[in-house]
Amino acid sequence: MKKTIVAASILFLLLTACKVNYSFTGASISPDVKTMTIGNFSNKAPTVVPTLSRDFTEALRDYFTSNTNLSLVEHGGDLSITGSITGYSITPVAIQGNETAALNRLTITVAVKFTNRTNEKQNYETTFSRYQDYSSQQPLVAVQSSLITVINEQLAQDIFNKSVANW
């Protein structure tokens, strides 16, 4: 009887002491982390699109709130992401025989500082860049909004993966 109680106690302690977080997004966030702060990304690119700063910041916030259980707070979150948009450029690609571009490429670059107050080993500062190609037959104003939306989503996913998915 005494052995059964001891075995049951040990089993109970093992089961309650081990905590594993499962996530369908690949996030591996410590149970100690409860809040997140995502600052406004200012637009420091040479070419300024008036709504890009707001659109990118909101895309990043939406991605984190949709893919984690973290509460978004204004200041002092357990995790913090700050940064700026440092590049917005259009370059010709796929040059044809008549020296005209069949495609143009819109590239957006962001500088990011990630701070994890519970595990400083995960802190980083780096840049992320993504692009989308579009037909040179289309004027930029006709496709700019949809291209920015796609690029913002890709950048948000890259930042998420580096910050909490440890990819």
**pLDDT tens-place string over residues 38-97:** 999 999 999 889 999 999 999 999 999 999 999 999 999 999 999 999 999 999 987 776
Residue 1 has pLDDT above 70, yes or no: no
Assess contact for 105 and 90: CB atoms under 8 A: yes
Domains of the chain and CATH, by start: 2-165 (3.30.160.150)
Mean pLDDT over the full length of the chain: 86
Instruction: Report the distance separating Cα 10 and Cα 26, nearest Å.
Output: 31
The answer to which of 1-10, 38-47, 50-59, 143-152 has the lowest mean pLDDT is 1-10
What pTM was estimated for this model as a whole? 0.80
Q: Cα(132)–Cα(125) distance, rounded to whole angstroms?
A: 24
Helix (H) or strand (E) holding 52: helix 52-67
pLDDT category of residue 104 using cuts at 50, 70 and 90: very high
